[in-house]
Amino acid sequence: MSTRAGLKDRLHYNETFNCVQCGYCLPVCPTYETMKSEVHSPRGRINLVKMLAEDKVKAEDLREPIEKCLGCRACETACPTSVQYGKILEGAKEVLEFAEQKSRAQKISESLIFNQMFPSKRWMNTIGNLSWFYQKSGLQKMAQRTEITHLAPLHLGKFESVLPDLPSPVERKKRARQFKAIGSRKLTVGFITGCVMDAIFYETNRNTIDLLTKAGAEVLIPVNQTCCGALHAHAGKITDAKALAKRNIEAFEKEEADYIVNNAGGCGATLLEYGELFKGDIEWESRAQAFSNKVRDISQVLSELDGLSFTKEVNGTITFQPSCHMVNVQKVKDEPLSLLKQVKSKGYREMNDKERCCGSAGIYNIVNYEDSMEILDSKMKNVKDTNATIIVTSNPGCLLQMKLGIQREGLEKSVRAVHLVDLLVEAGAVSK
Ligand code: SF4
Ligand code: SF4
């Protein structure tokens, strides 16, 4: 970032001129709604980026407004001039990451989390296994009884109580690398199992494989795949995100898959943008774009296969909280709803403003807990207005956030949150 021209490139300065200051994006921006200030709006943030590129403000003037952005990309959908806000945001985060003075301890802990833990299957399995031990050994009950969880940093104690039941280390080890389609094979798909998804939501991954095979897909799970890099890119660690993307591209290039399937809206959005991530890279751009062209959300593949029917009634009234990355970036809207409407239940109730971010946004709810809870409370008001008893989501982060929302509202006895995939299995999915 040594020259002004280099800084302008990194900040996507030319893109900022596409913003005509109309303000159409303001009503859809959750942080503008809750924080009520221009610098927490898309337009305000774009202006700050432009001013940094022109040397009219310092990088530190951007830090708080940029860090408070959810990255939900709702502003892009409302923008009449198609400003690529995601690109501007990612550039700003990279510049801020570069400019930040970090202590040695901070550098070591970040390197451990981003470079050692997230990319490593072994680390992720260990986290999953330790969480299983915590749940099953009685430690969790004791910790909750003594309220020691309240002492955990960054409100992490709030999150441990909403984790799903984890599989034992033995079950975790047993998973095969290839699953044959039940009946005649209509497609072959590579399944991106994710990092946190596979560590904590292993059951949802297992159910994903179950649905795909029953619907007529052969499922391949490349061994060398890794974390998609979403958390790295959102933290401005673009070099690290690219390194992970390269590993995934290479791993899936070895498989003859028609699609690369994911079941986490946030990861899906990142995978879909690998092509963009390597724009201008002679060696990687076309390989990354070929990968991105195959990326599909599980709901898209199940809808296309049309190979499932549902045999059991789910006891409750359903509402749907889609992941904002799935809607705003992947543009997947109809497929989850069409699957949900095939499920027998006490009915489906549409939520007001259902596409507005719930405040989860990667690790936003951990690092900006209070702001995230304000956004969540506004979402829960809309949930309650539906009188639904089952909140279905399409992303693990949204699922945990919805569970937190249920707890905050004291609705644990009457309302539950569930991933779309798990609900379809609960609804007795069988091959047609
Ligand atoms: S990404 Fe979301 S939170 Fe950030 S400016 Fe756009 S609408 Fe607002
Ligand atoms: S809607 Fe688009 S052009 Fe209008 S202020 Fe927002 S970002 Fe700028």
- Tell which wins on pLDDT, 98 or 28: 28
Instruction: Enumerate the β-bridge partners of residue 219.
Output: 179, 189
Indicate the pLDDT class of residue 62, thresholds 50, 70 and 90.
Answer: very high
Domain end (from 303, 320, 337): 303
Indicate the pLDDT class of residue 128, thresholds 50, 70 and 90.
Answer: confident
What phi, psi does 117 have (nearest 5°)? -75, -60
On whether the CB atoms of residues 231 and 362 are closer than 8 A, the answer is yes
Say if residue 66 is in the same domain as residue 142: no
> Residue 72's domain is classified under what CATH number?
1.10.1060.10
d(CA 427, CA 344): 7
Say if residue 87 is in the same domain as residue 119: no
Residue with tokens 């985060």: 93
Give the whole-number percent of the chain exceeding pLDDT 70.
Answer: 95
Indicate the pLDDT class of residue 156, thresholds 50, 70 and 90.
Answer: low
Q: What's the N-to-C CA distance of the chain in angstroms?
A: 57
Nearest ligand (C-alpha, residue 79): 2
Residue 14 tokens, joined = 């030319």
| Ligand 1 atom closest to 41 (CA) | 5
Give the whole-number percent of the chain exceeding pLDDT 90.
Answer: 72
Say if residue 110 is in the same domain as residue 16: no
Say if residue 41 is in the same domain as residue 126: no
Looking at residue 148, its pLDDT comes to 59
Nearest ligand (C-alpha, residue 30): 1
The number of domains in the chain is 4
Q: Which of 324, 368, 356 is nearest to 68 (CA)?
A: 368
Pocket test for ligand 2, best of 79, 88, 328 (most atoms within 8 A of CB): 79
What phi, psi does 204 have (nearest 5°)? -65, -40
Nearest CA to ligand 2 atom 3: 19
- Secondary structure E strands in 127-277: 178-179, 187-191, 217-220, 259-262
Nearest CA to ligand 1 atom 7: 29
DSSP assignments along 302-369, one per residue: HHHH--EEE-SB-SS-EEEE--HHHHHTS---HHHHHHHTTSBSS-B-PPTTTTS--S-TTTHHHHTH
Say if residue 141 is in the same domain as residue 188: no
Number of residues assigned to the chain: 432
* 388-412 confidence digits (pLDDT tens): 999 999 999 899 999 999 999 999 9
Domain end (from 303, 320, 335): 303
Nearest ligand (C-alpha, residue 32): 1
* DSSP 8-state secondary structure symbol assigned to residue 162: T
| Ligand 2 atom closest to 78 (CA) | 1
Distance 281 CA to ligand 1 centre (A): 28
Domain end (from 303, 331, 356): 303
Looking at residue 111, its pLDDT comes to 81
Say if residue 183 is in the same domain as residue 266: yes
d(CA 188, CA 206): 17
Looking at residue 142, its pLDDT comes to 67
Whether 85 is in the pocket of ligand 1, judged by its Cβ within 6 Å, is yes
Say if residue 345 is in the same domain as residue 413: yes
Say if residue 289 is in the same domain as residue 406: no
Nearest CA to ligand 1 atom 8: 29
> Residue 321's domain is classified under what CATH number?
3.40.50
- Tell which wins on pLDDT, 145 or 265: 265
What phi, psi does 24 have (nearest 5°)? -60, -25
Domain that holds residue 427: 308-431
Q: In this structure, how many other beta carbons lie within 10 angstroms of the beta carbon of residue 29?
A: 25
Say if residue 296 is in the same domain as residue 177: yes
Distance 249 CA to ligand 1 centre (A): 29
Whether 42 is in the pocket of ligand 1, judged by its Cβ within 6 Å, is yes
**Which of 198-207, 320-329, 355-364 is most confident?**
320-329
**Is pLDDT above 80 for 158?**
no
Q: Which of 194, 213, 140, 179 is nearest to 419 (CA)?
A: 194
**Is pLDDT above 90 for 61?**
yes
Distance 93 CA to ligand 2 centre (A): 20
Mean of all residue pLDDT scores within the chain:
90
Say if residue 365 is in the same domain as residue 331: yes
Q: In this structure, how many other beta carbons lie within 10 angstroms of the beta carbon of residue 75?
A: 25
Distance 19 CA to ligand 1 centre (A): 14
On whether the CB atoms of residues 419 and 399 are closer than 8 A, the answer is yes
Say if residue 362 is in the same domain as residue 398: yes
**Is pLDDT above 60 for 151?**
no
**Which of 82-91, 169-178, 227-236 is most confident?**
82-91
**Is pLDDT above 90 for 326?**
yes
Q: Which of 319, 337, 362, 420 is nearest to 72 (CA)?
A: 362
Output b/e per residue, 160-190; b: 16+ Cβ within 10 A: eebebebbeeeebeeeeeebebbeeeebbbb
* pTM of the entire predicted model: 0.90
Distance 21 CA to ligand 2 centre (A): 5
* 282-325 confidence digits (pLDDT tens): 999 999 999 999 999 999 999 999 999 999 999 999 999 999 99
Say if residue 111 is in the same domain as residue 95: no
Q: Which of 158, 221, 157 is nearest to 189 (CA)?
A: 221
Looking at residue 170, its pLDDT comes to 80
| Ligand 1 atom closest to 74 (CA) | 7
Output b/e per residue, 269-303; b: 16+ Cβ within 10 A: bbbbbbbebbeeeeebbebbeebbebbbbbbbbbb
In this structure, the residues whose C-beta lies within 6 A of any atom of ligand 2 are 19-25, 42-43, 46, 75, 78-79, 81, 83
Whether 327 is in the pocket of ligand 1, judged by its Cβ within 6 Å, is no
Nearest CA to ligand 1 atom 4: 69
Nearest ligand (C-alpha, residue 43): 2
Looking at residue 16, its pLDDT comes to 96
